[in-house]
Amino acid sequence: MERPLSRARLGRWIATACLLPLLGGCNMVVLDPAGDVAQQQGNLVVVSTLLMLIIIVPVMALTGWFAWKYRAANTQATYKPDWDHSTQLELLIWAVPLLIIICLGAVTWVGTHLLDPYRPLARTAPGQPVGAEVEPLEVQVVALDWKWLFIYPEQGVATVNELAVPEGRPLRFRISSSSVMNSFYVPAMAGQIYAMPGMETKLHAVFNETGNYEGFSANYSGAGFSNMRFAVRSMTAEGFERWAAKTRTAQATLDRAAYLKLERPSEKVPVRRFASVETGLFDRIVNLCAEPGKMCMHDMMAIDARGGMGRAGLYNVRQLSYDKFAARGTGDTASDRYIAENCTNPELLGASLARIEDRVIDLATLTGAGLARPGGPAFRTRSNTPKPAELSQAGNMDPAS
């Protein structure tokens, strides 16, 4: 015989029940976000859940009903030991789930394309389309160990662990990583998207409300992962301009040398602001060439697409290593193993192969960074100015930086 419920146990149950209403104060940010993209994603979750409950609820209810009706003590229940098939029941069992799957597929197909993170926003809120004259705010995001770097090319500033954006304006994020794969996630704004070294991903989003929110890394990336969080501030357009102006008064400048120090692993990094940013820094981060004298991947690929650099290029392979950390260095030591830039002409630094192929190049100024010019007849500079197409035949190639 079961013992009666003691007063102590009854009191604990009553206390627990009284605490349940407090859950109403929890902020379900995924289902109640501050951005239109996140709201559409939340609605997709709700619709999908309700469609699946059409199957789950009846099945759970019928399971309990059948267990009760056909219990051993119920001698009045119908007993059919030879029953094994019912066409009507089979139609019901398979037709309804099939219809639910079709509905889920249609909803997912439409939602996946409309909420494609690479797709520019068509609206900032229900009934508020984005005008053709509206220019999104670009924010360049770099996942570091273990902190987040945000670069604002339009404002010319940068921050660490602080993302400030204007409310109601479309946002275009360009996202990358300095070392390992990570994941950029602001639940109040949009879904997560991966950040990968040597690659660039994109995310389009918007904030429809002002306020303070939080973003974080949603992909484990090492010892400092748990503290890899950043403040998100959605403010009015006027407030954002004041914030940008205040940031421009900071003392620090983010150039390549400062970036190489910043990307070193560190944990629990406070908010930092930079008054100016070196032009093209994010592209160099993506192309793994923030170090001075290191050839960028996009220039290396352009050279490969043209068939290589000829015999002169063989002098610049060192050990053909392009590792993120082990291949760093600028001296002649064993650790100096990255492929160097093949242009030391200041006028051409920062220019891509694809943008300078029609320029007249003086071969006399082209030497591998940190390398002496190879000798021998095959490498002597021609007296006449060659055309770009002739450079590979002369044992050299268009400069890349």
Judge whether residue 369 has pLDDT over 70. Answer: no
pLDDT of residue 363: 52
- Residue 136 one-letter amino acid: P
3-class secondary-structure state, position 125: strand
pLDDT in tens, 240-253: 999 999 999 998 99
Sequence-ordered list of residues with C-beta below 8 angstroms from that of 283, at least 6 positions apart, any chain: 296
3-class secondary-structure state, position 364: helix
pLDDT in tens, 267-307: 999 999 999 999 999 999 999 888 887 778 888 787 777 76
pLDDT in tens, 392-401: 443 344 433 3
DSSP 57-74: HHHHHHHHHHHHHT-TT-
Of 308, 291, 292, 290, nearest to 300 (Cα)? 308
More confident residue, 309 or 268: 268
Judge whether residue 194 has pLDDT over 90. Answer: yes
pLDDT of residue 291: 84
| The pTM of the whole model exceeds 0.95 | no
Question: What is the average pLDDT score of the chain?
Answer: 79
pLDDT of residue 364: 56
What's phi and psi for 257, nearest 5 deg?
A: -65, -40
Neighbours of 162 (CB within 10 A): 19
Sequence-ordered list of residues with C-beta below 8 angstroms from that of 376, at least 6 positions apart, any chain: none
Distance of CA 67 to the CA centre of its chain: 50
Judge whether residue 352 has pLDDT over 60. Answer: no
Domain ranges, ordered by start, for the chain: 26-65+89-115, 128-286, 289-401
Task: Please state, in angstroms and rounded to a whole number, the distance separating the CA atoms of residues 118 and 196.
Answer: 15
Judge whether residue 148 has pLDDT over 90. Answer: yes
Q: Hey, what CATH class is 128-286 in?
A: mainly beta
Residue 68 · residue 121 · CB < 8 Å: no
